[in-house]
Amino acid sequence: MEHQKTFRIKNLPEAYFTGEHKQMLLENERLKGISVIRTDDHFRSCKNAVEPHVLENYLVCLIRKGAGIYNFGAEVFQLKENTLCLIPPLTLTSWHSQTAYQEGFCCTFSEDFFTTGQENKSWLSQTGLAGNLIISLTAEQMAYFSGLMEEMFAEMQTPSGVDVELMRVQLHLLVRKAAALYPDTSKHILPKSRAAVVLASDFVKHCRGDFEQLLNGEIQRLPSLNTYAERLNVTPNHLNDMVKLIMGKSVGQFLHQELAGHATNLLQQTQWRVGEIADRLGFNDLSYFTRFYKKQLQTTPSKVRGQNP
């Protein structure tokens, strides 16, 4: 007899984090009915891939930097910077990061926390938020929601204790402002083709393995587009088109972005000379590496190193 696969109901810290951060965040959510996380503070303890799970509370994600593939129910979304999403409880969810760095906020809250003191206990479902709200934001809207969630995060860190009523007011403002944007369908982020998502995700997995080998000195340079296409049993043009569809950039642009990101990490976190970093990342010419880095990040390796002696 076949057993149907079941998914355990979890909270956000349990599903997405490891180590001491996980325990701290678990305690916050258990005691208060709400938790606010600034992901750039916790990204080192955040899992790059989260297998399918069911969250017990509402989830609000505000993505300022970074990108990844989110599965909500049967739908697949590619989420990147300037995105806001609100996901209801008991939604089958999974996450695969596409970038080494994520910046933004996550907030989870129970329906009881939201409705306490409210006459209309059904407001969340009556406003259409029983489904997924996934929208792109303008720079002005991003600044507003980012500022509000920054205030909520700061309140969670208050040494004298969290003002729960203030948090509830801020949460109402956050959710109601988000709901007000929902009728504008031009802002909706639509699901992606599952086949395209799978191919782009497989490409990213191969890239991560190659970058690890590159940094360990096991290979001298990254593979070409043709090599990746051969590994994935598709044509180079098809791979490039699917990666661009899902990630908004070509294979070459993605590899260049990742190279610049790894170079920055090495400049900030090691004492290697700039020439050693260039060589490790497959650049035989230091002046070419400097030009490449400046084109990608509008600054030079020596300036970044000077800021992080």
Note the pLDDT of residue 14: 56
171 with 207, same domain?
no
52 with 155, same domain?
yes
Phi (first) and psi of residue 154, to 5 degrees: -60, -40
First to last CA, the chain: 63
Between CA 302 and CA 309 the distance in angstroms is 10
If one compares 197 and 115, the residue with the highest pLDDT of the two is: 115
Domain end position, chosen among 136, 171, 187:
187
Around 230, how many Cα atoms within 13 Å sit in the side-chain half-sphere?
5
If one compares 27 and 91, the residue with the highest pLDDT of the two is: 91
The answer to whether the CB of 117 falls within 8 A of the CB of 104 is no
Domain end position, chosen among 187, 204, 223:
187
100: in domain = yes
99 with 204, same domain?
no
The answer to whether the CB of 70 falls within 8 A of the CB of 95 is yes
154 with 200, same domain?
no
126: in domain = yes
122 with 228, same domain?
no
Note the pLDDT of residue 44: 47
As a whole number, the mean pLDDT across the chain is 81
287: in domain = yes
27 confidence band (pLDDT: 50, 70, 90): low
Q: 202: domain CATH number?
A: 1.10.10.60
Between CA 184 and CA 8 the distance in angstroms is 35
4 confidence band (pLDDT: 50, 70, 90): very low
DSSP string, 245-284: HHHSS-HHHHHHHHHHHHHHHHHHH----HHHHHHHTT-S
Residue partners of 72: CB distance under 8 A and separation at least 6? 87, 91, 92, 93, 132, 134
Cα–Cα nearest to 211, from 173, 155, 151, 256: 256
The answer to whether the CB of 54 falls within 8 A of the CB of 90 is yes
80 with 57, same domain?
yes
260 with 158, same domain?
no
95 with 183, same domain?
yes
47 with 101, same domain?
yes
4: in domain = no
**pLDDT digits 0-9 by tens, 76-129:** 787 888 999 888 887 777 777 777 677 899 888 988 899 998 888 888 776 655
3: in domain = no
Between CA 282 and CA 222 the distance in angstroms is 7
19 with 166, same domain?
yes
Residue 55: count of CB within 10 angstroms of its CB? 21
Residue partners of 237: CB distance under 8 A and separation at least 6? none
Tokens of 253: 């642009």
> What domain range includes position 262?
194-307
**pLDDT digits 0-9 by tens, 280-302:** 999 989 999 999 999 999 999 99
58 with 161, same domain?
yes
Q: How many domains does the chain have?
A: 2
Share of the chain above pLDDT 90, in %: 36
Tokens of 71: 């599965």
